[in-house]
Each structure stands twice: as C-alpha cells, then as structure tokens.
Amino acid sequence: MSQISGKVVVAQSGGPTAVINQSMVGAVLESRKFSQISKVYGALNGVEGIVNEKFLDLTQATTHNLEMVANTPSSALLSSRKKPDTKYCQEIFKVLKAHDVRYFFYIGGNDSAETARIVNEEAFKASYELRVIHIPKTIDNDLKVTDHCPGYGSAAKFVSQAFSGVNLDNRSLPGVYIGVVMGRHAGFLTASSVIGKKYNDDGPHLIYLPETDFNIDTFVKDVVATYDKYGRCIVAVAEGVTDKEGTPIMVKLTNSKERDAHGNVQLSGSGALGDELANLIKNKVSKIKRVRADTFGYLQRSFLGVVSEVDQQEAREVGEKAAQFAVWDNRSGSVTIERTGDYSVDYKLTELKNVARDATCMPPEFIKGKNNVTEEFKNYVRPLIGDSASYARIYAPSVDKLL
Amino acid sequence: MSQISGKVVVAQSGGPTAVINQSMVGAVLESRKFSQISKVYGALNGVEGIVNEKFLDLTQATTHNLEMVANTPSSALLSSRKKPDTKYCQEIFKVLKAHDVRYFFYIGGNDSAETARIVNEEAFKASYELRVIHIPKTIDNDLKVTDHCPGYGSAAKFVSQAFSGVNLDNRSLPGVYIGVVMGRHAGFLTASSVIGKKYNDDGPHLIYLPETDFNIDTFVKDVVATYDKYGRCIVAVAEGVTDKEGTPIMVKLTNSKERDAHGNVQLSGSGALGDELANLIKNKVSKIKRVRADTFGYLQRSFLGVVSEVDQQEAREVGEKAAQFAVWDNRSGSVTIERTGDYSVDYKLTELKNVARDATCMPPEFIKGKNNVTEEFKNYVRPLIGDSASYARIYAPSVDKLL
C-alpha cells in the first residue's frame, strides 16, 4: 500500500450530468476509509475553487447527506467552464501543496483530463508526491480509451424516452417533428434516440449525426420521402451537425455567432436550429402542414428522476476506483471502463495523456448511411440505458362500415 | 338500471396527455362488464373516425393489451384537432345511430365537451336514446366545474422535475435560465414549476402566467433584481403570456403569425418566445453573460415514464365513472372531480353545457403579484403531482484558507 499520507481534493467540472455526484460521493466515501488520508476536501466550482482555496471539508459530511447528494443530478460541488493553461495549473498545484493535498480527483471531460495531466506534471517536476486521477464524466460520451462515459447512459435514457413519447404524440396528431439533441461534435446522444422505437414504423425515422455531413436539400428530401411513406416523420438531429465543409448548420441557418468560453460556437441554450430546420420544411414542402421542433436543451442533462441504473452504479464505481487506484496502486491516470462482456465491465487506469485534450466521436461501424445508426450501435447503447418504460398499441379488429 | 341496450363508442380528442389512455381503458373495461352493452368500439382520430366509420372493436381487445395501452402516453385511438359544427355533429349522430350506438364517451377538453353537447342535443331532437359523456382531459387544466383535469398532474410533475433539474444545473453554472411552459391561456402548468423548489434560494425565482399582464421592461427589471440577489435567475414563463392589451408576447417579439386549425396563434412547437426573451436580457443587460432558454415543448405532455400516480388513478376513474353514470344512472354529462378533503376526491356528473366551449384559467387566489404563485396554489397542486424525486445539497463546513 502507498505510504503517501495527506489530504484528498475532489472537484467537478464542465456540464453537469445526472450521475456526476455518484462519482464524487464514490471517491469521497472510499477515500474516507483509508487511514493515511487525513481529510477529504471538496473544491467549489472546479479548479477555481482550488485556486481560491474554497474547500468544503467532506470528512465532516454525514453519510446520509452524501448518499442524498449522490442521487442528486448536477454538480453538488458546483462547476466551472475554466480551461486552465500551464500557469493556472501551477496555481492549482501551489494551493494543493500548501494544504498538504496528496490526492487530487478531478471529475470531468477531456479538458479536465488535460488539467489533471498538467497538474500531475507540475507535481512531478517539483518532486512533490501527488496522485492525480481524472474521473470520466460527460453526456456527450466523447472521451477516448473508455468504452463509454458515466453520465451518458442517463442522458441517453432521457433522450430515448423523450423520442418514445413524441413518437406517440406525433402518431396521434401526425406531421413532421424535429427534436434537437445535445452532444457537440459527437453523435452518441442523438443516436440513442433510436432506442425509443418499438414498432417498425415508429420514429425517429431519420437520425442526423455530427459525424456525417448534413446537406440541407438531402434533409428536405429525406423528410418528404418519410412523410410520403408513413404520413408523418420524426427527426432526431444533433445540435452539432455540420455541412461538408465543417460549418455548423446552426451557424449556416441562423448566423449565430455566440461563442462559449473556449471559443466554440454556442450550440445549446437556444431553439434556433430546430426552428430553422422546421421553417425549411414549412417553406419548401407545401403539402406538409404541421411541422414542430423541440430543442431538448438542458432537460436532457439535468432532469430530476430519469436516470439509468447502470449509469448510476458505474458512476459510483469510477469514483471509488479513483481512490483505490491512487491509494492502493499509488498511480495517477484516468479511470476507464472496459467492456468485458454483454454486459459486464472492468475498470482500468490509463495514462492521463491518453484521454486529455482531444475528444472522440462515433466510430464508423455505428453509423448507417447519412441518416441512421447500425444494429451494432443499438447493442452498444442498450445496456447503458437499461430498462425503460415501454408502451403499446391497441390490438383489436376493425369494424365493417355500415353506411 | 338503464334499459338502453346497444353499443358504446369511445374516442379521444385534442392534445394527448400521459394518462389519456387510462380514461379510455377505464371506460372500455367498465363498459364491457354490462350485459346491455353489446360491443365497445373505439373511433380512430376522434370524431373524424366516427364520421368515416373507422372503428376498432375493443370488445375483442385483450385485457393485458388494454392495460399496457393504459400505461402508454398519448391517444392510443389517435386524435383530432377537429372542432365540429352542428352540421358535423349531425354526421356524427347519423353514424352512431346506424351502428346502434347508445353510449358515446368522448375524452377531451372544452371543445370536445361542446361536441358532446351538440351530439347529445341532436339525439334528443331525434328522440333517439343516446347517452353522451364527456371525459375531461387536458394538461392545461383549464376546464370549468371540475377541481382539476386528468393529464394535468403528470404534466405538472414533468414541469416541476424539469425545473428542479435546471435549477441544479444553473446553480453549478450560474446565469439566467428561461423555461417556456405550455398551457395556452391558463397558467396552471407554468405555476407547477414552483413545486420543483426545495431550498429558499432555488429557482424558479420568477413565474409569469397568462393570467397577469406581462410587461417587457418589468421582466428585465425582475431578472436583474433576482440576478443581483442570487447571482443567477431562473424564470418559468407561460407560452401564452400577453401584454396589457392582450397581445401574445410571442407575437409581439417574434411577429409569428402561424395559426392553428381553430384560428388561434400557434404558441407551441417553436423555441422563438424563449429565444427572444433571452435576447432581451442579453441585449439589455451587459453584466449578465450567460443566458439560456429552453422551450419544454411536446416533452411535457408525452414524455414516457414520468407520470403522477394520482393522475393515473383519477384518469382511470373518470373513465370508469363515465360508463357507470351512463349505464347505471342513465345520464349524459361531463364527469367532474370534486375535491372533498386534503387529499380526497369524489366524481360527479355536471351538465355538458357547463363545461362546453369556454375554458377557464387560474383563480386570483392562486396568483401572487405579477411573477409568483401563492401558498394556496402549492397546496392545490401538490397532491396532484404526488411524490417526486428529491435532491440535496452538501452539508459540510468550509476549510480555512492557508494562502
């Protein structure tokens, strides 16, 4: 066992998920078991809380409170969109050192992994014994190495159930329905809409992913063809779809220029993409009278009460494993989930640099043409969503006409 | 007991709800118990299915199938936006008579009650023994006489849980968040967002209802005041908010002119109102950097798997009572829910004309000022939503700074 004694700091970063607190609580409760860990601190607002020394002493939180928090969506330690550079990471390291922190667990996506990597490097350069573990989290499911990311399963469950519902709604009052789904440059979340289908003619009938190029004319043609076949059409479209040149369709149709803190085009928080796609159909296809668009927005990552059980458990486990890898194995790294069966997983630790900085997206074998997903993807995502509510149509014979 | 023997026709109308099939199945299964009822038909697509003689013989549906359907959101018999005039009602009556239908159960809102009323009148004029029962349904909760409407509780649960989630999300990444809620001219659904609050500083901090006039400058001031107080602001706004003159804010800000089949301004199916309200804040208040808007859209009335248990049970009961009132009591009318305790209800039958045509909205005692609801409203809505998922904050002491 590692002989490094000192404190633990846990922090959360980026967009929240339904299960991010499971990971935090997993890391906290597991850390509290080790005698060489003197205190477990939670930094408020991610790395900003570290630099500003805003810590809560989670050693003094009750287990019941932590268990309640674990079941609460969104980052209980609050979050941050900060993408620290080397200088900022040096600040982080300075504070961690001052507090005799020997274990730093950072829950987040690829940017957080990059922060963890630099902080780890700073500690190494200073010959300060620090173990830094990145705990994966993102509804976009776009981290490298790991089979999937905690947070994704629950968001995917929300998206698939949302599409089940709007499919039933649209069946009773037919027309074209467009649902815009989060995920930035990865289509995993949009693709999960396919799990909402039960009967062969159920929607979503068209699924547009950021991994394939989106052509406006083809989109209109696809919708018309589906409408002609089923008398209605349900579309799942990723907020991050781009044209052949890589220009976001959001920018193309809306001239939106809003950028986030990282200089990326603001894709979420507005209904513009859905509305413009709906307008395209309204303006170009006169025979289709009813066109509706919803942008699922923040509901899909923070809705209270819709959570995948598997996702919840795995989020808890990656948090626990972070503490175990750091203390028992004396290692730094990023916790990954390896799929070992259908369905079983194992947790591994990979080097921080393998997950840091660059994100990934849907592999080609999950994508079918330009508007659908493969059976392979369905088998990939189903266990991550787990059991969902089902639905049924009436089975009864038609009555002969009398008039 | 009534001596009228013949068939039953059940139909569903208007926007679907999460529990509309409970009412349908309640009416069907209860009707199947009576020996004087020879067949139970379901008309497809509301009154259009009657006029076109599109019936399913639900006497031949299995109980298991019907129970599965009862738990399925959205109208399993499909729906219609048709608002029949007297001539159309005569067509309906003609078909009902031809099929020896003696009981017509119509599940819908005030327009459906009006249809039921006219059909009932036609039968009376023709001295044809027909019992017509309107079964209440609407997420807007805007029907007269009844204490509340089946469908509302489940939609209110969705809305309150959505706000619980976005409140947590917004707490971790602060800014202004605007959630646009359905309900047309009634604020009940928007008001239910208040049930999502747990801690005193939780959102929604501002609730704008269609029952009070919405002033754009006051809105901006309210948001700034809240932001100054909490460092963030969550707004619940009804899609149907209007200015002092009664002009929908949707029309005022977006110049939208789309009208539905009934000539009403199209309020749902676009994110425009939320986006324009967000733009107002962005453009007028430079100190607020992060402004996001979501329009909950169709998810709130058809999301699979979020349902109020009380709502589910009551929806079932109003369907059963429809059959009982018609067959045992030999009456036509609209089923109403009377609140007899905190919380208990009784089912009554009121004359169709009392519910037909005009809708109602939030009474003054539920409304607090121009941006909030009263304790009385909270006590009104809580039992209709029932148990919801809860959430918690961390309770742990702060750590002293060292640097």
In this prediction, does ipTM exceed 0.90? yes
pLDDT at B258: 66
Q: Is B57 among the catalytic positions? A: no
Mutate to test the interface with B, among A95, A197, A202, A304 (most CBs of B within 10 A): A304
Q: What is the mean pLDDT of residues B279-288?
A: 95
Distance from the first to the final alpha carbon of chain A: 86
Does A345 touch chain B if contact means CB atoms closer than 8 Å? no
Mutate to test the interface with A, among B65, B266, B304, B398 (most CBs of A within 10 A): B304
Q: What is the DSSP letter of B248?
A: B
How many Å lie between the alpha carbon of A111 and the closest alpha carbon of chain B?
Answer: 16
- Residue bearing tokens 């002009």: B247
| Inter-chain residue contact B68 with A391, CB threshold 8 Å | yes
pLDDT at A273: 94
Assess whether pLDDT exceeds 90 at residue B59: yes
Nearest to A396 among B61, B304, B397 (CB): B61
How many Å lie between the alpha carbon of A53 and the closest alpha carbon of chain B?
Answer: 6
Chain B, 360 to 389: residues with Cβ < 8 Å from chain A are 388-389
Does A302 touch chain B if contact means CB atoms closer than 8 Å? yes
Closest C-alpha among B236, B326, B314 to residue B277: B236
Assess whether pLDDT exceeds 60 at residue A1: no
How many Å lie between the alpha carbon of A61 and the closest alpha carbon of chain B?
Answer: 5
- Residue bearing tokens 């004029």: B125
pLDDT digits over A37-82, tens only? 999 999 999 999 999 999 999 999 999 999 999 999 999 999 999 9
pLDDT at B178: 97
Burial classification of residue B78, based on how many CB atoms lie within 10 Å of its CB (0-12 exposed, 13-18 middle, 19 or more buried) = buried
pLDDT digits over A254-306, tens only? 876 666 666 667 777 788 999 999 999 999 999 999 999 999 999 999 899 99
3-state secondary structure of B281: helix
pLDDT digits over B153-207, tens only? 999 999 999 999 999 999 999 999 999 999 999 999 999 999 999 999 999 999 9
Does A108 touch chain B if contact means CB atoms closer than 8 Å? no
Contact B111, B80 (CB under 8 A): no
Residue numbers in A near B56 (CB within 8 A) = 394, 396-399
Q: State phi, psi for A402 to the nearest 5 degrees.
A: -110, -25
Share of chain B above pLDDT 70, in %: 97
Nearest to B275 among A42, A71, A270 (CB): A270
Share of chain B above pLDDT 90, in %: 92
pTM: 0.96
Contact A209, A238 (CB under 8 A): yes
With CA atoms as reference, the chain B residue closest to A294 would be: B297
pLDDT digits over B194-211, tens only? 999 999 999 999 999 999
pLDDT at B389: 85
Nearest to A173 among B77, B81, B172 (CB): B81
Does A90 touch chain B if contact means CB atoms closer than 8 Å? no
Q: What number of other Cβ atoms are within 10 A of residue B340's Cβ?
A: 10
Close Cβ partners of A174 (under 8 Å, ≥ 6 residues apart)? A231, A232, A290
With CA atoms as reference, the chain B residue closest to A45 would be: B172
pLDDT digits over B235-278, tens only? 999 999 999 999 999 998 887 666 666 666 777 778 899 999 99
Contact B20, B117 (CB under 8 A): no
- Residue bearing tokens 């009572």: B321
Does A294 touch chain B if contact means CB atoms closer than 8 Å? yes
Assess whether pLDDT exceeds 90 at residue A182: yes
| Inter-chain residue contact B58 with A394, CB threshold 8 Å | yes
Does B225 touch chain A if contact means CB atoms closer than 8 Å? no
Q: Catalytic one among A140, A202, A275, A311?
A: A140
Angle between helices A375-385 and A152-172 (to 10 degrees): 110
pLDDT category at A388 given cuts 50, 70, 90 is confident
Distance from the first to the final alpha carbon of chain B: 85
pLDDT at A294: 95
Assess whether pLDDT exceeds 90 at residue B21: yes
Residue numbers in B near A386 (CB within 8 A) = none
pLDDT at A259: 67
| Inter-chain residue contact A395 with B161, CB threshold 8 Å | no
Where are the alpha helices (H) located in B242-308, listed in sequence order?
Answer: 249-254, 272-284, 299-302
Q: How far is CA A92 from CA A49, A123, A353, in A?
A: 9, 10, 18
Does B291 touch chain A if contact means CB atoms closer than 8 Å? yes
For strand A37-43 and strand A6-12, is the pairing parallel, antiparallel, or unpaired?
parallel
pLDDT at A210: 97
Instruction: Using only the alpha carbons of chain B, give its radius of gyration.
Output: 23
Average predicted confidence (pLDDT) for chain B: 95
How many Å lie between the alpha carbon of B360 and the closest alpha carbon of chain A?
Answer: 24
Q: Catalytic one among B57, B100, B140, B228?
A: B140
| Inter-chain residue contact B61 with A303, CB threshold 8 Å | no
pLDDT at A99: 98
Does B91 touch chain A if contact means CB atoms closer than 8 Å? no
pLDDT digits over A88-144, tens only? 999 999 999 999 999 999 999 999 999 999 999 999 999 999 999 999 999 999 999
The two most distant CA atoms of chain B are separated, in Å, by: 91
Q: What is the mean pLDDT of residues B318-346?
A: 97
Burial classification of residue B307, based on how many CB atoms lie within 10 Å of its CB (0-12 exposed, 13-18 middle, 19 or more buried) = buried
Structure tokens at B349: 């039958």
For strand B233-238 and strand B206-208, is the pairing parallel, antiparallel, or unpaired?
parallel
Burial classification of residue B395, based on how many CB atoms lie within 10 Å of its CB (0-12 exposed, 13-18 middle, 19 or more buried) = middle
pLDDT at B84: 93
Closest C-alpha among B5, B9, B17 to residue B48: B9
Does B171 touch chain A if contact means CB atoms closer than 8 Å? yes
Distance CA B319, CA B306 (A): 21
How many Å lie between the alpha carbon of B233 and the closest alpha carbon of chain A?
Answer: 15
Nearest to A172 among B41, B75, B401 (CB): B75
pLDDT at B254: 81
Q: In this predicted structure, which of A5-9, A330-334, B3-7, B351-355 has the lowest mean pLDDT? A: B3-7
Contact B122, B84 (CB under 8 A): no
Assess whether pLDDT exceeds 70 at residue B2: no
Structure tokens at A314: 């795995």
| Inter-chain residue contact A81 with B173, CB threshold 8 Å | yes
Q: In the A/B pair of chains, how many CB contacts fall below 8 A?
A: 275
Instruction: Using only the alpha carbons of chain A, give its radius of gyration.
Output: 23
pLDDT category at B297 given cuts 50, 70, 90 is very high
| Inter-chain residue contact A299 with B165, CB threshold 8 Å | yes
Does B230 touch chain A if contact means CB atoms closer than 8 Å? no
Does B95 touch chain A if contact means CB atoms closer than 8 Å? yes
What number of CA atoms fall less than 13 Å from residue B175's CA on the CB side? Answer: 19
